[in-house]
Amino acid sequence: MLEVKLHDIGEGMTEGEIVHYHVKEGDTVKTDQPLVEVQTDKMVAELPSPGTGTIKEIIVPVGETVQVGTTLLYIEGEGANQTSEPEPKENRKPAKANNQPMQPKRMQTTLNRVLATPYTRKIARDNGIDIEEVQPSDPSGRVTEEDVYQFINGNQTPKAEPATESKSIAKPTQPDEIPFRGIRKKIAQKMTKSINTIPHVTHFDEINMTRLVELREELKASGVSVSVPAYLVKALTIALKDFPVFNAELDEENEKIILKKDYHIGMASDTEDGLIVPVVHHADQKSIQQIHSEIKELTHKAKEGKLEHADLQNSTFTVSNVGPLGSTGATPIINYPETALIAFHKTKKVPIVTDDNEIVIGHMMNLSMSFDHRVADGATAVAFTNRLAGLIEHPNKLMLEMI
């Protein structure tokens, strides 16, 4: 008997929510065949079958959140890691309650025979599509994202279903509760730990973006398009090297501040599932063009739910670019256990007094920097943002620093 447990699939996860089973009791499965989709704190992952056999029993229902190490189902047949017969139901501890209604039996066994990635299934679920009705275009029988979109746009005919007695099916009512689990729950836990552990101080400043805006327009006219965040990230890595205390982590237990030698910049991204922080690793070793391309790719993957564990690991400093949303100020919460987080806000055209006492129209951007007051003081934070502003306000100096 094969025992399939929820195992740690990355980043030291401790629990996962059972989103969907690809199989039902009595199904025959092969080694590495996807068995179940699990929602971790950052993504949906599939657990494969450890061997060949028949699904004997499914233990944990859809919608349940369980700890790593929990047995999800049993497979009767060949394969490694054989276990004894399943423990009698009456001897098992009750599953962790999550106050969610049980899925009807039909819903738990729907979609079992369709081959599709978790992301493709998510598209179908988000659009109220039964993926079993989608005709696969791939010769292997796998339903692709394009197949689902074709179905949504009415370019596919639903699969014929066996004639059954017509029944009036009532449409489900709109839920008035939002499940507090998965990514949203993880965000809450991390933010609570951060605000309860770190004495936050937020420093506000502004940066004259005029010369950088002019440089971007000049490059754009020559066919080179680079986003503002790419310049900001590059300037940050330079400023962090001058003020390493902000690229650090406090180890209270051993009474030391660990200055990180790597510069991994987390880019806070807003997604439908919540806040995700993909990371530009070794940003100090990359050109502005490379940083631009990587930010663009990570942002796309975050919104599409395609981030991998490696994309989310080991950030040393986090950036929140909320300017495009219209923000003018905030008091951001630090991405624990980092020392600081900086938020870049909306860039606005405003009158500016030049050194010659002339009034011109320029581009100004506000920033908010929250830092750990146990590690750094206000004067250091001001010096840090002054250094950052100097690099942004004079892009030629930024270029010189990279030579």
Q: Same domain, yes or no, for 50 and 187?
A: no
Q: Same domain, yes or no, for 321 and 193?
A: yes
Q: Same domain, yes or no, for 251 and 373?
A: yes
Q: Please, is 47 exposed, middle or buried when counting C-beta atoms within 10 Å of its C-beta (0-12, 13-18, 19+)?
A: buried
Q: Has residue 310 been placed in a domain?
A: yes
Report the Cα 201 to chain-centroid distance in Å: 26
Q: Has residue 127 been placed in a domain?
A: no
- The total of structural domains in the chain comes to 2
Q: Has residue 57 been placed in a domain?
A: yes
Q: Is 146 helix (H, G, I), strand (E, B) or coil?
A: helix
Q: Same domain, yes or no, for 104 and 239?
A: no
Q: Same domain, yes or no, for 88 and 189?
A: no
Residue 392 and residue 403: Cα distance in Å, rounded? 16
Query: pLDDT value at position 102?
Result: 39
Query: pLDDT value at position 285?
Result: 95
Annotated catalytic residue: which of 203, 292, 373, 394? 373
- Report the CATH number at residue 347: 3.30.559.10
- Report the CATH number at residue 42: 2.40.50.100
Residue type, 331: T
Q: Same domain, yes or no, for 108 and 187?
A: no
Q: Has residue 124 been placed in a domain?
A: no
Note down the domain range covering 29. 2-113
The domain boundary residue, chosen from 113, 137, 153: 113
The domain boundary residue, chosen from 89, 113, 137: 113
Q: Same domain, yes or no, for 364 and 220?
A: yes
Q: Has residue 131 been placed in a domain?
A: no
Please, what is the average pLDDT of the chain? 84
Q: Same domain, yes or no, for 90 and 187?
A: no
Q: Has residue 363 been placed in a domain?
A: yes
Query: pLDDT value at position 90?
Result: 54
Residue of 211, 219, 204 lying closest to 360 (CA atoms): 211
Mean pLDDT confidence for 113-128: 75
Q: Same domain, yes or no, for 250 and 358?
A: yes
Looking at 212-299, which runs of residues are DSSP E strands? 248-251, 256-259, 265-267, 269-271, 274-276, 279-280
Query: pLDDT value at position 205?
Result: 96
pLDDT tens digits, one per residue of 287-320: 999 999 999 999 988 888 888 888 999 999 999 9
Which of the pair, 138 or 300, is modelled with greater confidence? 300
Q: Same domain, yes or no, for 74 and 216?
A: no
Residue type, 259: L
Q: Say if residue 276's pLDDT is above 60.
A: yes
Q: Say if residue 387's pLDDT is above 90.
A: yes
Q: Has residue 325 been placed in a domain?
A: yes
Q: Same domain, yes or no, for 300 and 384?
A: yes
Residue type, 303: K
- 32-36, 49-53, 118-122, range with the lowest pLDDT: 118-122
Query: pLDDT value at position 96?
Result: 52
Q: Same domain, yes or no, for 83 and 190?
A: no
Q: Say if residue 122's pLDDT is above 70.
A: yes
Q: Has residue 139 been placed in a domain?
A: no
The domain boundary residue, chosen from 91, 113, 135: 113
373 among known catalytic residues: yes
Confidence of residue 368 (pLDDT cuts 50, 70, 90): very high
